[in-house]
Chains A and B, each alone.
Chain A
């Protein structure tokens, strides 16, 4: 794509970066087939290709963007499915961040929207403040039906609050047995307010596998939430604190920064770009999704009954970090019967704060995802990101848990709380293994009634 930025515009680093990205798009349109909003609306402006054009026009023109552009860019989930599909690998992730930042700086939203966005950006990154807000929200639950959709969704997120367990404080959690690794855990902000068992299970699992786990002082929100709302200044300030905290620990020897909220993981891995500088780059290079790290470390063979576990690929894991096989391999090793969900490349509609800001599309995607999950008849749903768990939990019948909760359970930990509240079926005979990302030569289980003979 050709651009017409002036030299003056190109002197601004963000415009220069956007210019470089825009020029790589050649409008093949592969992205449209895998873009959830385009598939739902068939509106070109709701496709990555259309949005790229809108961003180009907005940045070239300068000044306040028009409402139509903001409308269509706001509807982007940042699921990055388009980046997986794109033949020329357009760096859409950074382009949409630049655009969101530009809108935030140059566009005045209606009052209600400003208040809601401000609330989200201020509350969610702080687990204690968010927890307090959730406590207040429980009182509003009886009146939820009378509230506007966006607020209603916010209140519905609360679920069975308050969650059990404590918000993690800085400190060291020693390895059980011989220490194999020293890792830092990102406690993840909103996750701590909504579900504390994920961190508890992660700690148990890592320690049981010989990891000393530390929660570094000064480390908090990774900055992803404000970043994806166009508040990159706020996001960067949070990220810099984390870089400082983890760099101090890295100086004492750190094998990995383990992240169990994949939305956060994508951002932490990108700190080199987001924050800039060598320290941030080193921190980004240390970041691992918990599943990647456990696979590298070696998970002890699990003793789980072969429950049918539908594995949901969080977009931030499959598209943002390209981590797809590690969680499946771990769950299978733990003893579960891992099922792939049709249309697995599609977002569930959670997308950070998207289900709060774009409830109609989020609901359509959530229902679609839940129907696909139901079609594989699972006992349990597993995902690697709390946002997806909350969103899918609103629409799916089967209980949903974090992958680490199942791995912890299978290797000696307690049953995840979400499962204790439900009656699981007696596990059936193991079926054929789930497909991998790539074909392998691994034989599938013998079928007692085969279609063909080999």
Chain B
């Protein structure tokens, strides 16, 4: 791309959106550039605030005219994956969350909602509650103020039967890189009367929606999201296991329960530190100067204090009452009991253990803050999420557990993971918390991430959503044809490459 004419661009946007539509203050630029990555901050050239799809079109067209790179964000709660940082310093952040935060429609009969990018989980939860709590949205266990569209487009997930946030979206409105508006699904019909836009995805023609996940081909300005009728009662169950290698048994126990969908939620299979870590700073960090992983004794002590295990399994049933679900709970207890190692924690008891209450909230579609405490496990504000996945095969999952635990230890970090288990696949949400103010620790965190990535790639496993520091790194792990296809689509939909160049490693000319 030729040199951007930033002054002309901002002048055009200020003229069209007013002074309130642009922010170039030094403080704003500094803060929007901050993130939690090892690679440093990426200050943008400024921030613009569209209030409508029309405003987004105007911004994209001005960016094409003045050769300015844009970086759209929704609510900017992408902590550990990039925060509000652009792919590169000097891009212009398009903050959709400030003014495009409307819930456009809630259809209570067909159970779907249509939202703009600024609508957070909390905002929709509040609105559904206000309307009588008839519908339940699937939430993440991350920040309640996180945006639904941003999460779905980054292939984020929750835990209920509607856990797959992109999969349960239906019908997008997108401003393409050339400024044109595209509607997907049944919204592609050239009509003003689109009664199936948010009820059907697969009627005619190719399914284009997926192009706009983990990519940079357009700016999504509207999305339909399907909702679950709220169950009258939610009943959770929990088991702890004492040993690290018990993961093998756990995965073997969970798989059949999910393949048959006997248990409607996903299983949260969390290690000790993932749960205990949200309750306070590492008790050994300051003593070791951050050079060593927490000791086995330290982990044991934390487990004792919080009543948890080396592994902790949580799931839930939905039904008309607690009593109605008791036989199902008993069936699961019987199955886990056969392992001879599982300790059962009942729903009521779990509500007194804050990290398990997080799971109950998540299964119940209630946004909550509890899990964010994980981010203070070490001081200094560094954290990166490493999100590979394994098949639901106990042996394979346990091999990966051993591998990653060893690499964490090699670099002096604390193995912290939640395996979110569906029928055939488990996503391993690993967080590396590190002191970003310590150059040595920062370098070790980066090396740890890269080594784990390379090791799992060597075993045929790819990551899911990835931190911005590693987008080009992961794209380079794909086959050439994939890179060329992405570049070709980029060139077709965003010929001047003005939307988030570099995001997820997609550029007009593929790296070889």
Which residues of A come within 8 Å of B, CB atoms? Answer: 2, 23-24, 26-30, 33-34, 42-45, 47, 49-50, 53, 84-85, 87-89, 339-340, 342-345, 375-376, 431-432, 434-435, 438-444, 446-447, 450-454
Verify A439–B111 contact, CB threshold 8 A: no
Verify B31–A342 contact, CB threshold 8 A: no
* A24-B75 Cα distance, complex, nearest whole Å: 24
* A47-B235 Cα distance, complex, nearest whole Å: 39
Hey, which chain A residues are within 8 Å of B231, CB to CB? 452, 454
Most B CB within 10 A of own CB, among A49, A376, A444? A444
Name the contact of A85 in the complex, choosing from B31, B126, B145 (C-beta under 8 A).
B145
Q: How far is the CB of A431 from chain B (nearest CB, A)?
A: 6
Name the contact of B351 in the complex, choosing from A24, A47, A438 (C-beta under 8 A).
A438
Hey, which chain A residues are within 8 Å of B365, CB to CB? 439
User: Does B437 sit at the interface, judged by CB under 8 A?
Assistant: yes
Verify B129–A29 contact, CB threshold 8 A: no
Chain A interface mostly: loop
* A451-B107 Cα distance, complex, nearest whole Å: 10
Given contacts A33-B145, A439-B361, A454-B318, contact A44 B229 (CB under 8 A): no
Verify A29–B84 contact, CB threshold 8 A: yes
User: Does B456 sit at the interface, judged by CB under 8 A?
Assistant: no
Verify A26–B130 contact, CB threshold 8 A: no
Which residues of B come within 8 Å of A, CB atoms? Answer: 23, 25, 27-28, 30-31, 34, 36, 49, 75-77, 79, 83-84, 98, 108-109, 111, 120, 122-123, 126-127, 129-130, 132-135, 143, 145, 228-236, 318-322, 347, 351, 357, 360-361, 363-366, 368-369, 372-376, 379-381, 436-437
Q: How far is the CB of B371 from chain A (nearest CB, A)?
A: 9
Verify A2–B437 contact, CB threshold 8 A: yes
Hey, which chain A residues are within 8 Å of B364, CB to CB? 439
* A43-B98 Cα distance, complex, nearest whole Å: 12
Q: Can you list 27 A-B pairs, Cβ within 8 angstroms, ordered by A?
A: A23-B379, A24-B379, A26-B36, A26-B380, A29-B83, A30-B372, A44-B25, A44-B30, A44-B31, A45-B27, A53-B27, A84-B369, A85-B145, A85-B369, A87-B369, A87-B373, A88-B379, A89-B373, A340-B126, A439-B363, A439-B365, A441-B233, A441-B234, A443-B320, A444-B233, A446-B232, A451-B229
Q: How far is the CB of B316 from chain A (nearest CB, A)?
A: 9
* A50-B130 Cα distance, complex, nearest whole Å: 33
Q: How far is the CB of B93 from chain A (nearest CB, A)?
A: 12
Q: How far is the CB of A402 from chain B (nearest CB, A)?
A: 23
Q: Which residue of A lies closest to B28 (CB)?
A: A44
Q: How far is the CB of A66 from chain B (nearest CB, A)?
A: 14
Q: How far is the CB of B95 from chain A (nearest CB, A)?
A: 8
Q: How far is the CB of B74 from chain A (nearest CB, A)?
A: 11
Given contacts A30-B145, A434-B129, contact A454 B232 (CB under 8 A): yes
Hey, which chain B residues are within 8 Å of A29, CB to CB? 31, 34, 76, 79, 83-84
Q: How far is the CB of B77 from chain A (nearest CB, A)?
A: 7
Verify A438–B357 contact, CB threshold 8 A: yes
Given contacts A29-B76, A30-B77, contact A452 B126 (CB under 8 A): no
Q: Which residue of A lies closest to B110 (CB)?
A: A451
Hey, which chain B residues are within 8 Å of A454, CB to CB? 229, 231-232, 318-320
Verify A87–B375 contact, CB threshold 8 A: yes
Q: Which residue of B lies closest to A30 (CB)?
A: B143
Hey, which chain A residues are within 8 Å of B143, CB to CB? 30, 33, 85
Q: Which residue of A lies closest to B228 (CB)?
A: A452
Name the contact of B376 in the complex, choosing from A87, A443, A447 (C-beta under 8 A).
A87
Verify A439–B366 contact, CB threshold 8 A: yes
Verify B368–A438 contact, CB threshold 8 A: yes
Verify A27–B77 contact, CB threshold 8 A: no
Given contacts A88-B376, A441-B235, A451-B109, contact A342 B127 (CB under 8 A): yes
With A49-B31, A87-B79, A339-B130 given, name 16 new contacts (CB 8 A): A29-B84, A30-B372, A33-B75, A33-B76, A33-B77, A84-B369, A87-B373, A432-B134, A439-B357, A439-B363, A444-B230, A446-B232, A451-B134, A451-B229, A452-B229, A454-B229
Hey, which chain B residues are within 8 Å of A45, CB to CB? 27
Q: Which residue of B lies closest to A90 (CB)?
A: B376
Hey, which chain A residues are within 8 Å of B132, CB to CB? 431-432, 447
Most A CB within 10 A of own CB, among B321, B373, B376, B437? B376
Verify A42–B23 contact, CB threshold 8 A: yes
Verify B79–A30 contact, CB threshold 8 A: yes
Give the 4 A-B CB pairs with smallest separation, nearest first: A26-B381, A452-B229, A439-B364, A33-B145
Hey, which chain B residues are within 8 Å of A439, CB to CB? 234, 357, 360-361, 363-366
Q: How far is the CB of B393 from chain A (nearest CB, A)?
A: 32
Q: Which residue of B lies closest to A439 (CB)?
A: B364
Hey, which chain B residues are within 8 Å of A88, CB to CB? 375-376, 379, 381
Name the contact of A44 in the complex, choosing from B27, B319, B375 (C-beta under 8 A).
B27
* A140-B372 Cα distance, complex, nearest whole Å: 51
Verify A28–B375 contact, CB threshold 8 A: yes
Hey, which chain A residues are within 8 Å of B372, CB to CB? 30, 87
* A447-B134 Cα distance, complex, nearest whole Å: 8
Hey, which chain B residues are within 8 Å of A451, CB to CB? 108-109, 111, 134-135, 229
* A88-B279 Cα distance, complex, nearest whole Å: 10
Name the contact of B120 in the complex, choosing from A2, A33, A442 (C-beta under 8 A).
A33
Q: How far is the CB of A45 from chain B (nearest CB, A)?
A: 6
Verify A42–B130 contact, CB threshold 8 A: no
Q: How far is the CB of B348 from chain A (nearest CB, A)?
A: 8
Q: How far is the CB of A432 from chain B (nearest CB, A)?
A: 5
Verify B361–A438 contact, CB threshold 8 A: yes
* A345-B321 Cα distance, complex, nearest whole Å: 30
Hey, which chain A residues are within 8 Å of B369, CB to CB? 84-85, 87
Hey, which chain A residues are within 8 Å of B129, CB to CB? 340, 342, 434-435
Verify A28–B123 contact, CB threshold 8 A: no
Q: Which residue of B lies closest to A433 (CB)?
A: B133
Hey, which chain B residues are within 8 Å of A344, CB to CB? 126
Verify B130–A375 contact, CB threshold 8 A: yes
Hey, which chain B residues are within 8 Å of A50, CB to CB? 27, 31
